[in-house]
């Protein structure tokens, strides 16, 4: 037998083995039926089985975020509001959140995906309970007229960040359980619509419109990727847009934000609802192509509020210029694309829950990044959403790390299953 023939037979045997693992398929193209296969067991995951490039890109974003959070917050103690803070106050708290997130990610990485599938509904119920608890006076902490945080001593926990991961887990579990109802609108959609609606009501009580939009998008994305009829999907999207329009029509604060976004330089809005946007645009304008230099931002000197959180990209644009912003966009694009690839691999291996959950995380990271960048660039109205993995915010950083750990666990199990297929 020639080397070429041996290679062809080897490839054919690998495909046949993988096909046996996948199980029988129906004639028409559709999502495969989930097989209950024990993958990687409960043994610790070997480091070599990680997607090391994904970890490297995420680490690059985190490190750049650390540098820019310090740069954006170092002058805040000059403000009487933060006079009692040290220059490194926000940097230290950011590093503590990263440390907690890293430890949590290592713990999550050791838990098989099958366990999370069984616990998805429980995690969602706990999240709903936390969203109720944060609204209780005396428990929920109010910052900038919003009650979104539960004080935990070392950090303030924001339940809406957990809700983003919880909805991805619950929606993926729901689609696996309701796979036979994908073509029936009410059976396939109304339970998820009720779940998202309950979360929406609780979030709008805080209020946190930005988190609700992200969570609704994650749920709709998983329904669409899970095979719900496209016409049904667009009907859901129309209902969401109608709800959003109704809220704007009857909410003076949000209507003012929309009008300020459309004409931020209008004297009526420039010193009010359009203040952050105008100074964000000034920061990008000052940055030019290569920026003013690291640490040389002027807008962070009390002109641009929340520069270390929602508007971190504006500081990056001013200090590192177009080149720095473009690099951040490329890194996020690669990260989200790789997450979706891992999700598709899981679906191809008949691991539907894992695949849909991972793609839900991809929708979360991609959509929230798009919203944050759009707000900073004046393309979208202000929403109060952070830049994943980079902006200051303890709960957001911790949940970003946990979500990525779940993605890496799915990728590790994919690789273990493919190694078994080759064997």
| Domain count for the chain | 1
Q: What is the dihedral of CA 113, 158, 194, 244, to 10 degrees?
A: -130
How many other β-carbons are positioned within 10 Å of the β-carbon of residue 243? 14
Which residues have CB under 8 Å from 317's CB, separation 6+? 283, 284, 287, 291, 324, 325, 376
Question: What's the CA angle centered on 129, arms 128 and 131, to 5 degrees?
Answer: 65
Structure pTM? 0.83
How many other β-carbons are positioned within 10 Å of the β-carbon of residue 279? 20
Sheet holding 156-157, edge to edge: 141-143, 146-151, 156-157
Looking at the domain assignment, is residue 203 inside a domain? yes
What is the domain range of residue 365? 34-422
Looking at the domain assignment, is residue 266 inside a domain? yes
Looking at the domain assignment, is residue 12 inside a domain? no
Question: Are 358 and 336 within 8 A, CB to CB?
Answer: no
Helices and strands: H and E segment counts in the chain = 14, 3
Question: What's the CA angle centered on 361, arms 248 and 65, to 5 degrees?
Answer: 85
CA distance 289 to 320: 8
305-336 pLDDT per residue, tens: 888 888 999 999 999 999 999 999 999 999 99
Looking at the domain assignment, is residue 371 inside a domain? yes
Strands (E), 141-218: 141-143, 146-151, 156-157
How many other β-carbons are positioned within 10 Å of the β-carbon of residue 247? 16
List the chain pLDDT tens, one digit each, 423 residues.
544 444 444 444 444 443 443 444 444 444 443 334 444 444 444 445 778 899 999 999 999 999 999 999 998 888 777 778 888 889 999 999 999 999 999 999 999 999 999 999 999 999 999 999 999 888 888 877 788 888 887 788 999 999 999 999 999 998 888 766 555 666 667 778 888 888 888 888 888 888 988 998 998 889 888 877 666 667 667 766 776 777 677 766 666 777 677 777 777 776 767 788 888 999 999 999 999 999 889 998 888 888 888 899 999 999 999 999 999 999 999 999 999 999 999 999 989 999 999 999 999 999 999 999 999 998 888 777 899 999 998 899 999 999 999 999 999 999 888 877 532
Looking at the domain assignment, is residue 13 inside a domain? no
336-392 pLDDT per residue, tens: 999 999 999 999 998 999 999 999 999 999 999 999 999 999 888 877 789 999 999
CA distance 173 to 331: 30
CA distance 238 to 19: 40
């Amino acid at each position: 037998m020639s080397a070429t023939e041996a290679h062809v037979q080897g490839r054919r045997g690998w495909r046949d083995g993988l096909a046996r693992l996948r199980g029988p398929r129906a004639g028409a193209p559709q999502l495969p039926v989930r097989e209950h296969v024990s993958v990687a067991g409960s043994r610790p995951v070997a480091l070599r089985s990680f997607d090391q490039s994904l970890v490297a890109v995420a680490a690059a974003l985190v490190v750049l975020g650390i540098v820019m959070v310090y740069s954006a917050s170092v002058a805040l103690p000059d403000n009487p509001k933060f006079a009692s803070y040290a220059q490194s106050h926000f940097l230290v708290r950011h590093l503590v959140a990263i440390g907690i997130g890293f430890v949590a990610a290592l713990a999550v990485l050791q838990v098989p995906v099958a366990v999370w599938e069984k616990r998805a509904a429980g995690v969602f119920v706990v999240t709903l309970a936390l969203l109720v608890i944060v609204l209780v006076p005396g428990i929920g902490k109010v910052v900038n007229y919003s009650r979104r945080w539960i004080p935990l001593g070392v950090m303030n926990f924001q339940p809406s960040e957990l809700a983003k991961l919880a909805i991805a887990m619950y929606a993926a579990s729901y689609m696996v359980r309701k796979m036979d109802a994908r073509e029936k609108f009410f059976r396939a959609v109304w339970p998820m619509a009720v779940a998202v609606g309950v979360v929406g009501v609780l979030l709008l009580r805080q209020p946190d419109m930005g988190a609700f939009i992200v969570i609704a998008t994650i749920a709709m994305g998983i329904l669409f990727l899970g095979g719900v009829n496209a016409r049904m999907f667009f009907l859901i999207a129309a209902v969401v847009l109608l709800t959003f329009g109704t809220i704007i029509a009857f909410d003076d604060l949000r209507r003012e934000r929309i009008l300020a976004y459309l004409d931020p330089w209008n004297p009526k809005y420039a010193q009010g609802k359009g203040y952050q946007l105008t100074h964000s645009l000034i920061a990008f304008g000052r940055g030019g192509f290569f920026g003013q230099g690291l640490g040389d931002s002027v807008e962070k000197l009390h002109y641009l509020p929340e520069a270390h959180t929602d508007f971190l990209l504006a500081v990056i644009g001013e200090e590192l210029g177009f080149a720095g912003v473009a690099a951040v966009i490329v890194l996020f694009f690669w990260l989200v694309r790789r997450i979706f690839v891992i999700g598709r691999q899981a679906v191809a291996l008949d691991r539907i829950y894992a695949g849909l959950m991972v793609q839900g995380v991809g929708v979360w990271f991609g959509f929230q990044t798009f919203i944050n960048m759009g707000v900073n660039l004046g393309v979208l109205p202000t929403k109060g959403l952070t830049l994943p993995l980079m902006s200051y915010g303890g709960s957001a950083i911790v949940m970003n790390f946990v979500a990525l750990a779940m993605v890496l666990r799915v990728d590790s199990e994919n690789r273990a299953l493919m190694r078994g297929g080759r064997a």
